[in-house]
Structure 1
Amino acid sequence: MTFLPHPLSRRLLRRPLPRCWRALPLLLALACAAAPPTGAIAAASAAQTKSATATPKTAKAAKALKVAKATRAATIVKAAPRPKPLARAVDYAGEPVNFREWKAVADFEQEMAGKHGFDTEALKALMSQVNYIDSAVQLVKPAPPGKAKNWQAYRDRFIEPVRIDAGVSFWNDNAAALARAEAAYGVPAETIVAIIGVETVYGRNTGRFRVMDVLTTLAFAYPETPNREARMRFFRGELENTLLLARKSNMDPLSLVGSFAGAVGLPQFMPGSILAWGVDFDADGRVDLRDSAVDAIGSVANFLVQHGWKADQTGPLAYPAEVSLNRAWEPLIGQALAARNSAEELAAAGAISSLALPAGKLFGLIDLQNGAEATEYWLATDNFFAITHYNRSYFYAMSVVELGRALRLARGM
């Protein structure tokens, strides 16, 4: 932050200092030099000063001097430990609720025991430690109606200097793993890096909720919405997957920390996605998306391939389009998260691109609304729609495309 001095201050600053003040810096320096250090560092500093001024007369004295220097260095290092990542800290106040008194939770425990062989008493003890998280309930509620979608505002949240700089560093640090993933799965490095950047800024924002807390809350206390029953089934399934993942990975399920919806690690996989598509890409015997960037890279690439990414499709993931005024093209938007129309079909409906489209390929017409400004239209490929399976949003997929392009430019590619 920059502070502008008051005009009076500026006039005073132009005047020469009184002679008595000119010695002030020297007096302050002498005072600081005379003041003793504090704490453990002071003891080590004093020991070193005393040892340095005395001449060692014996081997024993020389050894003592060496020990004193080592002690001081170790003490200073200990006094300034490296900060721990903030992403792991749970910073919410969960409300203690006895979920075990809820019939639906008791039925879930019985199902897990019968279906998967979990120990009933151990599961009861675990569920008694789970908290209700009201903030998760509030966060999953639909946005208020009436607010216009704005692609440019959404884009600006992700295509910005901090995320680009961090993405270049991540790419450079993991260049070998990214090249290996691109060779194995056919997914370009820029797309993998961009997804991890959009999701968590390369591990900086992986979430600060206990996964067991938020999934239990959303599985049994989802807010009243038109799709409430379907969402509760989804989160109940992810609660089941969390217990299976914890058992498979030999971890305490309460130690798993993630987003308010239960997504975990650098790429924000739900527990079920970790079980289904997580890859031990660093070959250490376990899938670790929280601390292994290499596993995250392999898992993102595998997810995209399993959801329709085609390695033989090169070139842009989407082509800019112009649409006619007759709006015959309008029913083609949002048909499905897939490329289903040929270039000829789209042109017949009044949607064309100024760029040459690859022959024999299918496309899907998408719209990116810009609030009061003109809507953007694009012809999206299969690979674009593979990204929408990661997050079912055209805005999301296009932000991945745009961030990937920005990362390539920043790396001079």
Structure 2
Amino acid sequence: MSPIADANPTTPVKKQSSSKKKTHSAKKAAVKNKVTAPKALQSASSEDVHYLEWKEVQDFIEQMQTQYQFDKAQLSAIFAKTRYVESVVQLIKPMPAGKPKNWKVYRARFVENARIDAGVAFWERNAETLNRAETLYGVPAEIIVGLIGVETIYGKNTGNFRAIDALTTLAFSYPETPTKEARMAFFRKELSELLLWTRESAIDVFNVKGSYAGALGLAQFMPSSLRQYAVDFDNDGKINLKESEADAIGSVAHYLVTHGWKKGLPYAFPASLSSEKIDEKHLSAALNQGLKASYTLDELRPLVSTPDENAPRNIKYGLIDLQNGENPTEYWLGTDNFFAITQYNRSYFYAMSVIDLGKVISLARKKSE
């Protein structure tokens, strides 16, 4: 998102009183690498957690030394200063079940005046770069502008968490959820990618700040995406997604085209149910076909149709549902380009917000000319 993590929850080792330090040190020397974390986090603060003393962290350091030739002493020094962040754990927890999803409420958070104004200004000062990215990668400027706007309001909100703290917390102290083991494996991979990237770039890892999930820069790339898909689009010899708007623009376009974006293909078309007596199993199967375009218009006709005569008949679509709380659900037909955006964030709401924000900014920019 990957060795499976220890099945037992990892927790911090509490600080010892000064009278017990000597005994504690002797015990630690005796067990050596058998040190592990207690079974449950008990409202720990950053001062309570000593990640370097955790067996899981020691194993991770050994793996980084063996697989990537990291210096063990340097990594030990890093994890000795790395902090557990309780707010990261709280922020990563899934939303409580039961509250209905509401597309209109979600959209209003992103397609709003301040973000639109900032998007117009961003487009104006980067018009040439956006044109170059569109020419090179085939991704329209409005999609790039929409995505960066949704992610960080054009650099206004890139995150203030130390990435090493956030990723270590999630890699070793992930909250209890059904997907805990898979998520810990994912964040351990991202932690290793962060360490590799800072070593390659000669950057102090403690100076790298991002979101609570470890996403970085204007485009909020995870470290693995940064290493694999980020590009030096301003040609200054380095990649800087934090301060270079050009690098962010080029990197977003490169990411999307690598994940299936097709030049000239539309994004999505509105749709409506073909009748009130729809086969619910058939509808559910179409809605759960995955993040891909799998059906022709003819195959979808028993379920939905689109009033848009511009919808091409020679391509495939995926059926999208945008739930509106207690109000009727909106249905759309998404193309491969819609689903390329979902590879950035696996959410229909997210992808449609990127599209809508970009379109609104494009219209606002034209009106201001």
Q: TM-score band (shorter)?
A: 0.7 to 0.9
Establish whether residue 138 from structure 1 lines up as the match of residue 90 from structure 2.
Answer: yes
Describe the superposition over 1:193-247 as per-residue Cα deviations: whole angstroms up to 9, x where unpaired. 0000000000000001000001001000101100000000000000000000001
Q: Distance in 2 between matches of 1:246 and 1:322?
A: 49
Q: Distance in 1 between matches of 2:237 and 2:201?
A: 10
Aligned partner (choices 337, 356, 361) of residue 402 of structure 1: 356
Q: Distance in 2 between matches of 1:250 and 1:179?
A: 32
Q: Which structure 2 residues correspond to residues 301-316 of structure 1 after superposition, within 5 A?
A: 301-313=253-265, 315=266
Q: Distance in 2 between matches of 1:153 and 1:222?
A: 29
The amino acid across from 1:294 in the alignment is A
CA contact (8 A) 2:296 2:313 kept: no
Aligned partner (choices 199, 202, 214) of residue 154 of structure 2: 202
CA contact (8 A) 1:159 1:402 kept: yes
Establish whether residue 327 from structure 1 lines up as the match of residue 278 from structure 2.
Answer: yes
Q: Distance in 2 between matches of 1:135 and 1:95?
A: 14
Q: Distance in 1 between matches of 2:341 and 2:63?
A: 34
Q: Which structure 2 residues correspond to residues 94-113 of structure 1 after superposition, within 5 A?
A: 94-95=46-47, 97-113=49-65
Establish whether residue 258 from structure 1 lines up as the match of residue 210 from structure 2.
Answer: yes
Shift of 1:190: 0.4
Q: Distance in 2 between matches of 1:350 and 1:245?
A: 48
Name the TM-score, length of structure 2 as normaliser: 0.85
Q: Distance in 1 between matches of 2:73 and 2:360?
A: 53
Unpaired stretches in structure 2, ≥5 consecutive residues? 1-44
**Equivalent residue for 1:354?**
307
Q: Distance in 2 between matches of 1:359 and 1:145?
A: 39
CA contact (8 A) 1:96 1:131 kept: no
The amino acid across from 1:336 in the alignment is G
**Equivalent residue for 2:14?**
none
The amino acid across from 1:319 in the alignment is F
- Percent identical pairs in the alignment equals 54
Shift of 1:254: 1.0
Q: Which structure 2 residues correspond to residues 6-405 of structure 1 after superposition, within 5 A?
A: 94-95=46-47, 97-313=49-265, 315=266, 317-323=267-273, 324-328=275-279, 329-347=283-301, 349-356=302-309, 357-405=311-359
Q: Distance in 1 between matches of 2:46 and 2:149?
A: 29
Shift of 1:359: 2.4
The amino acid across from 1:259 in the alignment is S
**Local SS of the residue matching 1:369:** strand
Aligned residues: 318
Name the TM-score, length of structure 1 as normaliser: 0.76
**Local SS of the residue matching 2:236:** coil
CA contact (8 A) 1:334 1:366 kept: no
Describe the superposition over 1:140-191 as per-residue Cα deviations: whole angstroms up to 9, x where unpaired. 1111111000000000001100000000000000011100000000000000
Give the aligned CA root-mean-square deviation in angstroms: 1.1
Q: Distance in 2 between matches of 1:230 and 1:286?
A: 33
Shift of 1:284: 1.0
**Equivalent residue for 1:15?**
none
Shift of 1:334: 2.5
